[in-house]
Structure 1
């Protein structure tokens, strides 16, 4: 597996949040990243990540469920729209237009320590995590939906 990066998902906390951000940002730019998880079991449900490129080996459920564009967001003036198709039986479109939710979503585009956020931002992150739009691990949070910059089909084909 030469050229494969090991990502510390099992570490939890900041290291895992940074690894998820890297996968999300590669997805955003439609870049290929060959990676393998570290040996530790992640302290979170990896099904949250099935919209991101799976590791090179292992993770058969992840490999089976992965498809480009299962979860993504688009930004507008004062709102964020999220399309979530990770669970085909419960696909959803979210429009975040409450200022606190939008601010929290944007604040966790980069991994953020929950203790560094004010109480309102922590409450908003909790709401986003409950909707499976933010990963919270060991006191750190990171947004899950990539902002797609490359679309799988031309917009005129839809």
Structure 2
């Protein structure tokens, strides 16, 4: 398995990743984008994550409800309780095909499952570029705006990162997703 992050300090033990320091969810820029990318990639690899958060998110915390909830989220205990209650592996993910990406979103608050196909060249390019935390100015603004509106990208303080993991470990049975 490749390294999950050169920025986030963690220990890997079997199928568990333990983050050794708090992750910044304050939306203050690259730090938050890197934290979200790390959690997304852990989800992609089917790893259980133990972590703590710092910083009160100025964005809708429901955007992250598909990721493993933290052990602590100071100042947002009610939101953390909702996150823990609503968390389900595979509630948001993407699959790639030739020239397109399909996203399934079953996060709480969406009502029913939403399946989106990104095949427009600019949207697809922006989504793929945002697999890594990226300054918003480096990506086509209209594409980022559409992806943010669909709740597929977190954009905060000039940085953006895609939210849906690419699931590489399917639960048994895989039809559960």
TM-score by shorter chain over 0.5:
yes
**1:94 aligns to what SS in structure 2?**
strand
Change (3 A) 1:68 1:75: same
User: Aligned residue for 1:37?
Assistant: 53
Query: 1:11: Cα distance to partner?
Result: 4.8
User: Aligned residue for 1:72?
Assistant: 93
1:5–1:34 Cα contact (<8 Å) kept: no
Do structure 1's residue 94 and structure 2's residue 116 form an aligned pair? yes
Choose from 128, 143, 148 the match for 2:167. Answer: 148
Query: 1:51: Cα distance to partner?
Result: 0.2
Which structure's relative contact order is higher, taking Cα pairs within 8 Å and 6+ residues apart?
Answer: 1
Distance 1:20 1:69 in 2: 16
**1:149 aligns to what SS in structure 2?**
coil
Normalised to the residue count of structure 2, the TM-score between the two structures is 0.80
Q: Write out per-residue CA displacement over residues 14-62 of structure 1, whole angstroms, 9 at most, x where no aligned residue.
A: 1000000000000000112210111x21121111000000001351110
The residue correspondences of 1:1-158 to structure 2 (distance < 5 A) are 4-38=20-54, 40-57=55-72, 58=77, 59-87=80-108, 89-117=111-139, 121-155=140-174
Change (3 A) 1:4 1:28: same
Distance 2:53 2:81 in 1: 13
Change (3 A) 1:77 1:16: same
Distance 1:157 1:126 in 2: 31
Structure 2 unmatched runs, 5+: 1-17
2:22–2:53 Cα contact (<8 Å) kept: yes
Query: 1:155: Cα distance to partner?
Result: 4.1
Normalised to the residue count of structure 1, the TM-score between the two structures is 0.90
Distance 2:150 2:171 in 1: 25
**1:44 aligns to what SS in structure 2?**
coil
